[in-house]
């Protein structure tokens, strides 16, 4: 490799992360503006945005672009929108532990009724009573990637009976048919699947009716995995509970009935947002881009166009 690979970064933090990486030359970009001649030499572009339209338009003006590297684990918003010949690599490995912490925290808060105790404190009322426990609860985790396996590791010490569900059966991982056979036994179902044509709207009326009374649906994954109206019907009837870090639509409009539905807890897409999150995401991005620059296929590739190969 004679010349450094030009990598477009959306912020100063990215430029700093790229500065110490051999063979890479970071260049700042703003997708709201036309690319400069220097930016048009880029083979890699890094993004962390959720509104992809400006980024897509910007990429179409980059003739040398070969790889889009995201700082997020989710990537569904990019599928079908990349320019020809551009591969996609995600931020898998950066956000698993943080999302697992959120999942453990909200399940503990749910079963130990921390919200009820906080309300009682605000009312200066001594609400002494026995709560449920996370110990012994049957928890199914749909999605066996980095985040799903991190959640399993985080919940295991609490004595849960864990079911990790992936696309193929392997050690300690079952497939969706196995989950469906055991769905009615689960106390909680955690959604960390990627959004694909097969998983979009997976959690619909039929899925929800297969869960037992009092079960809790936990979604730190993607809002579009769930049919919101079907979930509303179940929660408003008081049959199911839900803890949601993501919603459909998102952000959730102020007047949406999901806000006030009984047994629903909502956090504003913060499961992976902890101190150091962007440093971890950039560390993964630099590693993946470095592999590309050395002629290797990045291990986080989630989409590869026909005939694509790394630069070599």
Nearest to 15 by CA among 293, 275, 282, 291: 282
- Angstrom distances, CA of residue 135 to CA of 29, 155, 158, 163, 274: 49, 9, 5, 15, 26
Nearest to 278 by CA among 92, 26, 14: 14
32 as an active site residue: the answer is: no
250 as an active site residue: the answer is: yes
Strands of the chain (E only): list them. 5-9, 24-28, 44-47, 67-70, 87-89, 138-142, 161-166, 174-175, 188-191, 216-219, 241-244, 264-266, 301-303
222 as an active site residue: the answer is: yes
Contact 81, 64 (CB under 8 A): no
- Options 97, 241, 269, 280, the catalytic residue: 269
Contact 193, 175 (CB under 8 A): no
- Options 239, 250, 256, 294, the catalytic residue: 250
- Options 222, 234, 241, 280, the catalytic residue: 222
Contacts of 122 (CB under 8 A, 6+ apart): none
- Angstrom distances, CA of residue 61 to CA of 71, 83, 239: 21, 9, 51
Catalytic residues: 222, 250, 269
């Amino acid at each position: 490799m004679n010349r450094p690979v030009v990598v477009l970064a959306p912020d100063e933090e990215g430029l700093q992360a790229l500065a110490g990486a051999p063979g890479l030359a970071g260049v700042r970009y703003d997708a709201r503006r036309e690319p400069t001649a220097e930016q048009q030499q880029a083979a890699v572009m890094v993004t962390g945005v959720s509104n992809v339209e400006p980024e897509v338009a910007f990429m179409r003006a980059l003739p040398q672009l070969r790889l889009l590297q995201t700082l997020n684990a989710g990537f569904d918003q990019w599928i079908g929108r990349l320019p020809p010949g551009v591969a996609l690599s995600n931020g898998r490995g950066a956000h698993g532990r943080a999302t697992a912490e959120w999942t453990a925290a909200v399940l503990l808060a749910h079963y130990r009724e921390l919200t009820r105790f906080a309300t009682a404190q605000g009312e200066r009322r001594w609400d002494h009573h026995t709560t449920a426990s996370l110990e012994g609860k049957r928890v199914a985790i749909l999605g066996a990637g980095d985040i799903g396996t991190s959640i399993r590791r985080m919940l295991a010490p609490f004595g849960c009976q864990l079911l990790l569900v992936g696309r193929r059966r392997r050690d300690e991982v079952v497939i969706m048919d196995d989950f469906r056979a055991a769905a009615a036994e689960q106390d909680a179902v955690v959604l960390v699947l990627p959004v694909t044509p097969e998983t979009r709207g997976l959690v619909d009326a039929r899925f929800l009716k297969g869960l037992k009374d009092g079960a809790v649906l936990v979604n730190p994954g993607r809002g579009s995995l769930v049919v919101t109206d079907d979930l509303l019907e179940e929660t408003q009837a008081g049959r199911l509970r839900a803890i949601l870090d993501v919603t459909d639509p998102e952000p959730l409009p102020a007047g949406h009935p999901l806000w006030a539905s009984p047994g629903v807890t909502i956090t504003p897409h913060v499961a992976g947002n902890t101190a150091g999150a962007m440093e971890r995401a950039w560390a993964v991005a630099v590693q993946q881009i470095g592999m590309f620059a050395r002629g290797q296929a990045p291990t986080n590739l989630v989409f590869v166009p026909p005939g694509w190969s790394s630069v070599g």
